[in-house]
Amino acid sequence: MNLLNNKFVKYVIFAIFTSLLNVGTYMLFYNLIIKNVIVSNVAAYAVSITSSFFINKKVVFKNDNTNLLEQMISYLGVKAVSFAIDSLVLILFVDIFEFNNFISKLIANASTTISNYTLNNKVVFKNKEKNI
């Protein structure tokens, strides 16, 4: 089995790419455009989430749905759910179980990667059955 044909592997590879894009955009905005953490972070998230949406739609899930607005709203909903899961895992591991903060963040990221992939695959980018 070719790993690059595996949707989950592609998803993880492009998630790493969009994370790097997020950091790069943040640094570009902060260092060259406006020295404001919030504005730079908002710009970075806007660029990386938009890029991630189109990469997932076309490359990872090969989705042909033409209703972009509906899909983008669903995608942003998945991102909101992901943020909630990430936060809950951090609260649980850091505040309640008193685990190492870095290890806890890695666990939270793994949880959100799996939940994002599942929700994107089953809800946002689900291709409709074609009638023959």
pLDDT digits (tens, 9 = 90+) for 41-57: 899 999 999 999 999 99
Say if residue 54 is exposed, middle or buried (CB neighbours under 10 Å; 0-12, 13-18, 19+).
Answer: exposed
- Helical residues (DSSP H) of the chain, grouped into ranges: 7-28, 37-55, 68-90, 101-119
Among residues 59, 77, 57, which one has the least CA distance to residue 67?
Answer: 57
pLDDT of residue 129: 57
| Backbone phi, psi, residue 128, to 5° | -75, 145
Structure-token pair, residue 35: 């020295």
Residue 76 has pLDDT above 50, yes or no: yes
Rounded Cα distance, 34 and 26, in Å: 10
Residue 28 has pLDDT above 80, yes or no: yes
Entry pTM: 0.82
pLDDT band at 118 (very low <50, low <70, confident <90, very high): very high
Q: What is the largest distance, in Å, between two alpha-carbon atoms of the chain?
A: 56
Other C-beta atoms within 10 Å of 14: how many?
17
Amino acid at 14: F
